[in-house]
């Protein structure tokens, strides 16, 4: 399976120290050129520490693939529907690759992608998936949700929901 994260997902996972979960959970991690420019190139220009960290992690790992994308006129058409360039690019990438899954923390982008019929998950669901696949034990699962919350990548309500789901599995 292929995962295609948007910019906010990459930033939140980098800040929380959880980016390594992506290649543990998925066969391939595709980062579109638009998303790369959005979170690394522009982030570095703005002096964002996480952009420098993310760039180094991406360079050092063979698990992340920077993908060049082309959609002809589709990009401009879809850009009017989605909020950001990155979300538009992630949507179009997943739409063209049926074995790919989009990942976002943005609720509006999540709902729009769902309505458009592409596979999409929320960033905090990665923690639950890691727990289900026994990559994280229960304590590490809770800790990862806490880290994600601390950087703005999830909410208290989502954490409660996911912990409840995990407790049902533990029984």
The number of distinct structural domains making up the chain is 1
Q: Which domain holds residue 15?
A: 2-123
DSSP sequence for the chain? -EEEE-HHHHHHHHHHT-TTHHHHH-SEEEEEHHHHIIIIIHHHHTT-HHHHHHHHHHHH-SSEEEE----TTHHHHHHTTSSSHHHHHHHHHHHH-TTEEEEES-HHHHHHHHHTT--EEETTHHHHHHHHTTSS-HHHHHHHHHHHHHTTSS-HHHHHHHHHHHHHHH-
Question: Which contiguous run of DSSP H or E holds residue 104?
Answer: strand 100-104
pLDDT digits (tens, 9 = 90+) for 137-170: 999 999 999 999 999 999 999 999 999 999 998 7
Give a yes or no: residue 63 inside a domain: yes
Q: Is residue 69 part of a domain?
A: yes
What pLDDT score was predicted for residue 61?
86
Q: Is 145 contained in some domain?
A: no
Cβ atoms < 10 Å from Cβ of 153: 24
**Residue 49 domain flag:** yes
> Is the whole-model pTM more than 0.85?
yes
| Structural domain contains residue 9 | yes
Task: Look at residues 62, 90, 69, 60 and name the one whose alpha carbon lies nearest to residue 78.
Answer: 90
Within a domain: residue 7? yes
Whether 10 maps to a domain, the answer reads yes
In a domain, 77, yes or no: yes
Question: Which distant-in-sequence residues (6+ apart) come within 8 Å of 50 by Cβ?
Answer: 11, 14, 15, 39, 43
Q: What is the pLDDT of residues 40-49, one digit of tens each?
A: 999 999 999 9
- Residue 40's CATH number: 3.40.50.1010
Phi, psi for 32 (deg, rounded to 5): -70, 155
Give yes or no for residue 50 having a pLDDT over 80: yes
């Amino acid at each position: 399976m292929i995962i295609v994260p948007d910019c906010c997902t990459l930033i939140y996972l980098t800040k929380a120290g959880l980016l390594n979960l992506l290649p543990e959970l998925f066969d391939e991690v595709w980062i579109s050129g638009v998303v790369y420019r959005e979170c690394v190139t522009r982030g570095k220009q703005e002096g964002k520490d996480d952009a420098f960290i993310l760039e180094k992690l991406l360079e050092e790992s063979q698990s992340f693939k920077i993908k060049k994308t082309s959609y002809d006129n589709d990009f401009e058409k879809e850009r009017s529907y989605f909020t950001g360039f990155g979300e538009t690019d992630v949507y179009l990438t997943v739409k063209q690759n049926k074995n790919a899954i989009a990942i976002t923390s943005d609720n509006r982008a999540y709902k729009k992608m769902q309505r458009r019929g592409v596979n999409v998950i929320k960033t905090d669901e990665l923690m639950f998936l890691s727990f289900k696949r026994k990559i994280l034990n229960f304590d590490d699962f809770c800790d990862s949700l806490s880290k994600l919350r601390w950087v703005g990548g999830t909410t208290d309500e989502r954490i409660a929901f996911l912990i409840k789901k995990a407790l049902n599995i533990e029984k």
